Amino acid sequence: MTRRVPIRMNVANALQWLGTLYRNPADAIKEHVSNAVDEHSKAQVSDCAVGCCSVVFRFEKRQVEIAYPYGMTREEFESVLQRVADSAKRNTKVAQIGQLGIGIFSFQQIGKKCTFLSRKDDTSPTIRVTLREGWDEAEFDAARKQESLDRPGIRILISELKFDPTKPRGPLAAERVTRLIAEKFGSHLAGGQLAVEVWVGSRRHLVEAPKIDLPRIGRGIERVRLRGSKERVASLSFFYDPSGKGTVGIRHAGVVVIDDLKLSNAYGLEASVYAEGYVRGFVDADFLRPLPARTGFEENEDWVALLDVLDRHRRQIEAEVEQFRSEERERALSEIQRQAVQLAREILDLDAFKDLELPGGLTKARTASEDGRLQPTGRETGERSHQPGDHPESQGPRIRYREVAFEEGSRRHSRYNGGIVEGNTLNPDYHEEVAAGTQSKLGYATLLIGKEAIAFNDRTGATEEQLEKLLSFYFTLKRRIGTNGTPGSHAHGASGRGRPKRGARSPA
């Protein structure tokens, strides 16, 4: 016969654990903004909302105070406390941020005591409710005269603090709190429904919605419907982020629950274009069910259906991102071309190269003789017939640099063709230098321009071949010595051979 044993728990310990589900104190204290926004949304439905929900934080050495314009009656407080982890918000038709009714205990990550002074409306008195860490009871009292609120709203006092909230590098540093609230509640701040300010002593910090000044992508799919559902609609707000540091977050009721899709189990999408850094923005999905303390979403049918929708539109996002990246690479190359020509020109103007006859776009500035007349440059006195595209103007901008795939293959690094120095994109040295970053790419382009300027002086054509060999030698040497200048660090070097360790005796 089956025997049933009732499960019992220590309520005080359970409540203390629920209050510490948040990642840090700043994440815990932002729960009061969530509650304020939820109350504002309910008031809008019943047409009794204030114009803007204003939330004010005041951080003092021994106390944290939070105030906003929506209070609760004694009966409402009792209902909340008697339905912990079973919030009445689940049953409302208004999209709510809170789902489990545990935010009221978040004070335990900041202090050991929390006092609520609440006034529901103009005709209601101010009530006083006190919660304490380690207690499984709430204290209800009528507020003292000096504590009474002069208008409807709520004033929350967290005391017996576990740290000093006024420290600029502490867990409740104003910069950290304002940034977190701005990121989490950006849509409410931008829409004007919410205003938040943080006071540290006499200094005021205003929370402002993050501004995204980036090109929009995903046009035409701003609102997508889940398969087989008319009610479940997700809103997509995506932008191209050239920095490669963009993140895609997922919001519920306008509040960010998942900050970065790549940190979530998204069945492959965490390694897709949505997580590569070139897409920034948000997916708004009010139909999802957040986990406790909004650390993620329940992986139910709605979650899987949303990921299916994102995957369905992935190819469009990939194509748009690639188009922007291609344009970005083109602009970057043009800038490198300009810098490389300028840098090569400055180097070739040095005395060490004064005897060189140079292509027109790199010609030296002519100097005046003692009688004031300009001296001819080497290229003006030379007998060589110049290739098309050369021009006699001093410091002229005629020469150009571009990168193309050579028809004859990857052997050559560069060539001079009609006033243009062409770098061969098929050469393996090109790929290594480009992959090393912008500075290496600039140095590579400048080196090719210098090589062609020297080869320009050759009458036989032999110098071109010798310079090509010298370039191959140089880049092979560069690979073999590695970035630290130590021989033997290259991929082809023999394992374990190189400099002896410091203090070791060299073999005889």
- 239-252: average pLDDT: 94
| Chain segment 89-133, per-residue pLDDT in tens | 545 554 555 444 577 888 999 999 999 999 999 999 999 999 999
Which of 81-95, 219-233, 381-395 tops mean pLDDT?
219-233
| Chain segment 439-472, per-residue pLDDT in tens | 999 999 999 999 998 888 887 778 888 999 999 9
**Range in 4-18, 372-386, 394-408 the model is least confident about:** 372-386
pLDDT averaged over every residue in the chain = 83
Residue pair 234/223 in contact (Cβ under 8 Å)? The answer is yes
- Taking the CB of residue 420, how many other CB atoms lie within 10 A of it? 18
pLDDT confidence of residue 385: 39
- Alpha carbon of residue 159 to chain centroid: 35
β-bridge mates for residue 217, sequence order: 238
Query: Cα(392)–Cα(389) distance, rounded to whole angstroms?
Result: 10
The two three-digit tokens of residue 455, written as one number: 């080869």
Domains, the chain, with CATH or none = 11-207 (3.30.565.10), 216-312 (no CATH), 324-368+388-481 (no CATH)
Percent of the chain with pLDDT over 70: 83
| Chain segment 335-383, per-residue pLDDT in tens | 888 899 889 888 988 888 888 887 766 765 554 455 544 444 444 444 3
Residue pair 338/331 in contact (Cβ under 8 Å)? The answer is no
Whether the predicted pLDDT of 63 surpasses 90: yes
Query: Cα(337)–Cα(430) distance, rounded to whole angstroms?
Result: 14
pLDDT confidence of residue 126: 95
pLDDT confidence of residue 6: 73
pLDDT confidence of residue 499: 40
**Range in 17-26, 294-303, 371-380 the model is least confident about:** 371-380
pLDDT confidence of residue 68: 96
Of the candidates 5, 12, 158, 7, the one whose C-alpha atom is nearest the C-alpha of residue 84 is 12
pLDDT confidence of residue 86: 62
The pTM for the full model equals: 0.62
pLDDT confidence of residue 65: 97
Residue 9: CB partners within 8 Å, gap ≥ 6?
Answer: none
Of the candidates 397, 423, 399, 401, the one whose C-alpha atom is nearest the C-alpha of residue 412 is 423
Where do the H-state alpha helices sit in 138-289? 174-184, 186-190
